[in-house]
Amino acid sequence: MTSSDLEQLDIQPLTKARFAPFGTVIETGGATQIGINQGTTIRFDAMAGVDVTAGDGTPIISLFRGTRRPDPIEIHLLERHPLGSQAFMPLSQHDWLVVVAHGNAAGDAPDFSTLACFRATGEQGVSYDRGIWHHPLLVLQPVQDFLVIDRQGEGHNLDEVWHDGPAALINP
């Protein structure tokens, strides 16, 4: 199969409704606003939860520094975290890409025919629900930093499934 035969994924704007089957969009829009700190601060409350306490899991805060992959982006694999959610929040105001898929009927691998690609703004993070198949970080600038909240602890918390050759292309 040549690359010209490969499906080119549509890039859809990221919205809470579109992303709902996969997790939570972390954004101020739609969040409950609470005035705090003697009126100097607005708290956009509980934009996302953190679900990492399965087993002996505890939440940790890390930083992911992602570099851009070559164009077109070839989708070769997806991964999931069976024991915890994983949240990404951009630390700079640049768009980035989110690629997810539903699981297959057996529940042991992604269904690559359901791949979906979303373009997030620099003010949108996502929290992948526990067990959701997603592509590793895809950035559009040469380098972009993200704050990541995920799980630390014993237990098997990473499944990775490679497609037989590229499953799809993205032309950002």
Positions that interact with its own copies (CB under 8 A): 26, 28, 31, 36-38, 40-50, 52-53, 58-69, 87, 89-93, 125, 127, 136-137, 147-149, 152
Say if CB 17 and CB 123 are below 8 A apart.
no
Least Cβ distance, residue 42 to its own copies (angstroms): 4
Return the number of the residue (40 or 171) whose C-beta is nearest its own copies: 40
Phi/psi at 4 (5° precision) = -70, -20
Return the number of the residue (20 or 60) whose C-beta is nearest its own copies: 60
Q: Please give the Cα distance from 126 to 23 (Å, whole number).
A: 7
C-alpha distances (whole Å) from 166 to each of 5, 10, 73 are: 11, 16, 10
Return the number of the residue (59 or 131) whose C-beta is nearest its own copies: 59
Least Cβ distance, residue 21 to its own copies (angstroms): 20
Return the number of the residue (6 or 147) whose C-beta is nearest its own copies: 147
Q: List b or e across 45-84, with b for residues whose CB sees 16 or more CB atoms inside 10 angstroms.
A: eebbeebbebeebebeeeeeebeeeeebbbbebbbbbebb
Say if CB 169 and CB 6 are below 8 A apart.
yes
Return the number of the residue (50 or 169) whose C-beta is nearest its own copies: 50
Least Cβ distance, residue 51 to its own copies (angstroms): 8
Least Cβ distance, residue 166 to its own copies (angstroms): 13
Q: Please give the Cα distance from 102 to 171 (Å, whole number).
A: 22
Least Cβ distance, residue 35 to its own copies (angstroms): 10
Say if CB 120 and CB 145 are below 8 A apart.
no
